[in-house]
Chain A
Amino acid sequence: MKLSFVVKSFAGAAAMVAMAGPALAAAQSTPSPVTLKGDVMLEKTVTENGVSKVQLVEPKVVIPGDHLLFTTRYHNDGAQAVTNFVVTNPLPSAVALASDGAQGTEVSVDGGKTWGQLGSLKVTGTEGAPRAATAADVTHVRWTIPSIAPGASGEVQYHGIVR
């Protein structure tokens, strides 16, 4: 397995935006007070003395059926509080949300158009009739953090299964 973490530095991302179009160039003048850092770990279930527990290991070898924990850490570097902070994470197409993989937060099963708790969402079944959405139907996860104080940080996570 070749594990490649593609890390784009903050400055690099800004430069890309600048190249993408002059209309966005103005964005550079107001650097984001918040940074986001993604990470992924492989959730390995090990059984010791009959007790199963989950260990987080570097995803050196990943195969279908493996459980992955995706974490996004945020940090408010600015001097002001950041409010109404909404982190949106589209699921990679090769990953299905684990059941209870994003407990308590909102998900979308239609590509981010509508949002809600998984139990309240419906999708169109094979016969054309609506059915209750399952974790495997989830296309996006999002978390809403009302306020991040200056200097404060935190993280959001979801559990996925390699399809």
Chain B
Amino acid sequence: MNTYLTPLSRAAGIAGCSLVALSLTAPFAGTAHATGVLAGTLIENTATATYQTGSTTGSVTSNKVTVKVDELLDVAVATLSTAPATATSEPAVLIYSVTNSGNGPEAFNLAADPKISGNGFDGTIKSVVLDSNANGIYDPGVDTALTAGALATPVLGPDKSTKVFVLVDLPAGATDAQTSQVRLTATAQTGSGTPGTSFAGRGEGGGDAVVGLTTASANSLAALIASLANISLTKSASILDPFGTAKPVPGAVVTYSLAAKVTGSGSLDGLHVVDTIPDGTTYVPGSLKLDAAALTDGADGDAGVGGASGIDVTLGKIAGGTTKTVVFSVKIN
């Protein structure tokens, strides 16, 4: 450990030879550690003296005093998402980092708490996942989902960190644009508590483990936002009779307009606009339109089907803030 030590030397007449052996190129290699000297390191101190007695010189070396550095238990948790993660029908993926800021290898228990004061809603924790391939991105099926009851990081070396994903589902009743937070807490498995609390013999290298200033437990909040969408359908009609006026007389044409308005920050998928032909009327062939673009009546390549049994227009996936208008006409018998 102590590279300064030389098996000197109280030999008379070689005063100063110990100093020659003391020059080192990198005396502190291995100690440039953000978290301090590694647990288990031996601190060994020896002093040497040179002197004169009368005309002779001599030197003497002290006993070696050794102290072992104990393990400091410290942890840091940070949220890596800068903006709230989006939760739709798919869970929000919250990203945290857990860093071992102690000086010995340590694993940390994880706990995700969705019940935070001020939340618009309390999310449902779906799973806690380790970033197994360390790419910072949640990869379903690749990254390791932790099983309940065994939520913990692997053993992290001093200064090492791991990323943790917390997948959060929206609860029923969450509305669009509502926000929520989830707190991830990491706690040293060896123990935590008031700084200075020590766990005898539980440290790396057989020493003690001592709780550091972080209390060996840390947490961070990450935000999520609900991204949902709603749809409203508004039906209106206009009449044009054979006389150029708007009387609902036989032979008059009624043009229906169906406005499908999607609101919210999310989107809706699988939308269809479906309507029937009113009794006493007949569908006007070729009158079907989507956003003013004509659709053929047949079940073909375009989005619409029209006929005596009614109309069906496929809208597919529509983002919030969009209105799709379907128009068709019937003639009063």
* Interface residues, chain A, with chain B CB atoms under 8 Å away: 1-9, 13-14, 16-17, 20, 24, 26-27, 30, 32-40, 59-65, 68, 70, 72, 74, 78, 80-95, 110-113, 139-140, 148, 156, 162-163
Contacts and interface: CB of A to CB of B under 8 A. Distances in A.
Given A30-B56, A34-B60, A84-B51, A93 B2 contact: yes
A34 B27 CA distance: 29
B68 A2 contact: yes
Name, among B47, B61, B72, the residue most crowded by chain A CB atoms within 10 Å (CB to CB).
Answer: B47
A93 B207 contact: no
Given A7-B63, A8-B64, A62-B70, A72 B47 contact: yes
Contacts of A84: 50-52
B27 A139 contact: yes
Contacts of B22: 88, 90, 111-113, 139-140
A63 B36 contact: yes
Given A93-B27, A95-B43, A36 B54 contact: no
B65 A40 contact: yes
Given A88-B48, A111-B23, A6 B65 contact: yes
A61 B60 contact: no
B19 A88 contact: yes
A85 B57 CA distance: 10
Contacts of A162: 36-37, 43, 69
Contacts of A64: 35-37, 69, 72, 103
Given A17-B7, A93-B30, A163 B36 contact: yes
A32 to B, nearest CB: 4
A97 to B, nearest CB: 12
Contact of B24 (A36, A78, A139): A139
Question: Taking chain B's interface residues, is the majority helix, strand, or loop, or is none over half, making it mixed?
Answer: loop
A88 B18 contact: yes
Interface stretch (B8-16, B119-127, B181-189, B228-236): B8-16
15 contacts: A1-B200, A17-B9, A34-B49, A38-B63, A61-B198, A63-B36, A63-B72, A64-B103, A72-B62, A80-B54, A89-B47, A90-B2, A93-B29, A111-B27, A113-B23
B53 A38 contact: no
Given A63-B72, A111-B27, A82 B45 contact: no
A113 to B, nearest CB: 6
Contacts of B69: 62-64, 94, 162
A65 B207 CA distance: 17
B37 A94 contact: yes
Contact of A2 (B72, B103, B207): B207
Contacts of B36: 63-65, 162-163
B4 interface: yes
Contacts of B200: 1
Contact of A88 (B5, B7, B12, B47): B47
Contacts of A89: 45-48
